[in-house]
Structure 1
Amino acid sequence: MLTNRALLAYEAGVQGIVLSNHGGRQLDTARSGIEVLVEVVSALRLRGYWPDPRFEIYVDGGVRRASDVLKAIALGATAVGVGRPFLYAFCAYGQEGVEKAIQIFRDEFEMNMRLLGAKTIKDIVPEMVDAKSLSSHFVMTPQDNLFQNT
């Protein structure tokens, strides 16, 4: 269903989409943004729509470290939302904690880029991520009665 909506958005001329699971996975069977990202990019690619610099994909949910950001970018995300690490840092240590968390995140990002042999974000490619196991997750899709009744 999500891939169909992404295709419709592209075909309608929308400039981008946001793939989000509302940060806390309200249902224990909800899929992460990165799982949906793989399907959406695959569907767009099958139709010949991807890659297209006029259509952006933003993803968030479950992102805890810089390596998660790099994985999402490799799989097709234009940008990645990160919240919880900085929220925790703020709650525990205030502004100082957030500044430290940003520095840790930046250092980890740079280290992972070096380990991948990537000098720029454009050097991050799908072949750097093994996403095959994402499709083997046991996922039940609960009915969305609220959506269906509107």
Structure 2
Amino acid sequence: MTAPHVTPGQVWAALAAVPDPEIPVVSVTDMGMVRDVTVEHDRVTVTFTPTFSGCPALHVIRESIGDAVRALGVQDVEVRSTLTPPWTTDWIKEDARERLREYGIAPPAPAGEGVLITLDPEPTRCPRCGSLNVRMTGSFGPTLCKRLYVCDACKEPFEGFKSV
């Protein structure tokens, strides 16, 4: 059975509850991955942009988005991924940046126009104590979108998002 009266707003609300599979304190909408929701008759199409084209959680994200829409009673669901325009950390919602910090991940600085990846990392604050007295210990963290750091003030290790 389909739910012909599902609105785009209801779909967006359902997607706001879909956690990022690698960072459960933020959703796929908080991260700015969901680009478009279309409702036509009994069909819902969701278009999303992964944070990285080679994201290992791509299949999990796609499945979670489809499951969230089907939970609204919709049977005909299409989940599309697109790499154009490429995802940018500027799409992360402001309140999600604070949740990342509280979770122990330094949120990214604004990427700005025209810059894909900076070779010199932007100043990073320790998400635990706020100090700028940090040093990068690894260019790649557990995922390609993060770096590893140690705070020389509080001595705590932490991850920091790369600005893209």
Same fold (TM over 0.5): no
Structure in which a larger fraction of residues adopt helix? 1
**Larger RCO of the pair (alpha carbons < 8 Å, separation 6+):** 1
TM-score bucket (shorter structure)? under 0.3
Structure in which a larger fraction of residues adopt strand? 2
Whichever of the two has the greater Rg, that structure is 2
TM-score, normalisation: structure 1: 0.22
